[in-house]
Amino acid sequence: MIIHQAASNQASVLIIEGSDGIVEAARSALEQNLPLWMVDPIPERAPAFFDAVADPYLVDLLGQQQFLRTPLATSMSHADSAELSRESYMAARIQEAAQRHGKVLFVGGLAHIPKIAELLRTPQALPLMNTRVLAATLAPLHPDSLKKGFTEIPRLTEAYETWRKAPTPEGLVNRHELILSLMKSACDYYERQTKQEAPDAARLTWARFLRKWLRYKGLLLPDLYHLVASARSALDEDFAYHVHEYLCEYSWLNDALNPACVSLNEDNLMFYGHKIVLHKKLRTLFGRRQKYRIKAVGSSKWKEHLKRKWEEANPDEIDICSYPPEDVAIERWGESLMKHAQHILQASRSGSEPFVSEIHDGPDVRETLRRFYEDRIYVKVDEPGGYEFGSVVVIFDEDERGERYPFQMTWLGEHSQESDMAFYSTPPGVEVVGPGISRLEHGGFVMSYPPLRMYDVWTDPAFGFVDKRHERLLVAGIAYSEKPGIVYVAKKPPARQWKKLAASMGKRVVYVPLGSLNPSQVRRMRTFHLLQNKGLRNRVHEYLKRS
């Protein structure tokens, strides 16, 4: 990125991107030791219009010559006095270069080509223009600003840079095929990171939604915004985050810890810790960009730095705790699971009988119609009284070998509104999303009410007779429940022996199939964050994937 200051004390930036045609021309000239002329002046006040440029993929489809004959290429010039002076300046500089070197290759904006070609037919003099630049410096772009700085999808730029180092006779991979490949790879990346399946229906919805959206917008290929926003519509925020994270990966990222790295936002940039107000035109450029509620992705170096900070933390300063909003969400989910189990239990305890003298809970129309040949009315009979639950056990993945979810922990509720909880999950410190903030994924957990009663489930000898971890959570839920009901949510129903154990203690395990619950809700509840100390709770929201 080039930061330059004009005579009017306005700071502007020019982002240098490897896949840009002008930048490629400059790189090729330097690599082949050819004279490089910068012929475009930097006006004191940049024009505030934007070219309605056709999709670059159209050039690949039609070919350069055919594209230049289309109205899309011939209707981009602007009748502006400042632009005419600028084009005259460029034409004069091109003629000057031709006098010195003979043949000249001009690489410039498509809107200027017709007028410059016309001006080159006659000798041109340099027009008087105020192009004074007081100062300019070259600075690296911060990795977190990729989605603002890159006009191209970073993965596509990376593919171009890789091909450029070792060109093949076949040329670059077709952009359309490459984007389809990136979409598939992004789904695979989501599955690897979350250990959850990206359903085929969601993949198909993503592709269909994207195709219809591009057709509505009159575009041939999507950009980063279209891919991420359509991914969120196809599945959820977490899927969109991982798609964004994958597409923004770039092998040649700058070091995020370098103080010279420039961090961009809509109104200003940070350079060596100092805020620089951007030129009005550049702010307008950012304003035209679509926005989506996904936090910019940190670089690999930054993630490694966070991991090292987590591992090197002073043990005396560590006080592992949870994030309260996530605690509230999972407690509410536990309450909703209890209500769901209550409905299942009521449905199993209700029955019908022929109407004799009492109507009980009202006529049972379904049973009456089913037995219409008996020529009598059936009424509903429900057992009186509700059923109370004291524990909720949720098993996302049994993981009998303990390979995917090796971390085990038990913690007590901090107040009367929180339950005691034991769980097994992915280990902390593997995915660190912020200073002292680690993202984990549940394999299974048990919540028991009221709080402050649970010993460490994983070391308690009272549960030594249970070998499998998911069954140990169920037994703990049975043992610590002060109510007669225990909710058990899993892909498979509990073993018969644990139902008998609950019955011997005057309790009952109500099974709720995991597949019967809202998949989006299940995915949200499966993810949580561990903090190294309570002082971080006020900062966690800055690093979370979901708002």
Q: How confident is the model at residue 504 (pLDDT cuts 50, 70, 90)?
A: very high
Tokens of 317: 């300063």
Confidence of residue 385 (pLDDT cuts 50, 70, 90): low
Task: Give the pLDDT score at 16.
Answer: 77
What amino acid is encoded at 202 in this protein?
A: A
Give the pLDDT score at 122.
Answer: 92
Boundaries of every domain in the chain? 2-138, 146-298, 321-349+388-542
Distance between CA atoms of residues 500 and 506, nearest Å: 10
Residue 340's pLDDT is: 92
What pLDDT digit, counting tens, does each position of 414-431 carry? 888 889 999 999 998 888
Under 8 Å between Cβ of 414 and 537: no
**Is the overall model pTM greater than 0.85, yes or no?**
no
Q: Which H or E element spans position 286?
A: helix 280-288
Q: Tell me which of 245 and 282 has the higher pLDDT.
A: 245
β partners of residue 278: 11
Distance CA 155, CA 169 (A): 22
pLDDT confidence of residue 209 = 94
Looking at every residue in the chain, the average pLDDT score rounds to: 81
Rounded Cα distance between 381 and 349, Å, is 9
- DSSP H/E element including 380: strand 378-381
CA distance 522 to 524: 5
Residue 276 pLDDT exceeds 80: no
Instruction: Convert the pLDDT of each residue in 322-367 to its tens digit.
Output: 888 999 999 999 999 999 998 888 776 667 888 888 887 788 888 8
- The tokens for 169 are 């006779």
Question: To which residue do tokens 């045609």 refer?
Answer: 21
Cα(430)–Cα(272) distance, rounded to whole angstroms?
30
pLDDT band at 61 (very low <50, low <70, confident <90, very high): confident
In the block, tokens 């249970």 appear at 466
376 C-beta neighbours (distance < 10 Å), count: 11
| Buried/exposed 290-305: b ≥16 CB within 10 Å, e otherwise | eeeebbbbbbeebeeb
Q: Quick one: which of 263, 249, 228 has its CA closest to 545?
A: 228
Confidence of residue 293 (pLDDT cuts 50, 70, 90): very low
Name residue 250's amino acid: Y
pLDDT at 135: 76
Query: Which strands sit side by side in the sheet containing 2-6, from one edge to the other?
Result: 11-14, 2-6, 133-138
Q: How far is 336 from 143, CA to CA, in rounded Å?
A: 41
Strand, coil or helix: what is 293?
coil
Rounded Cα–Cα distance for residues 331 and 518 (Å):
16
Residue 544 has pLDDT above 70, yes or no: yes
CA distances from 530 to 111, 186, 447 (A): 54, 26, 17
Give the pLDDT confidence score for residue 43 in this predicted structure: 65
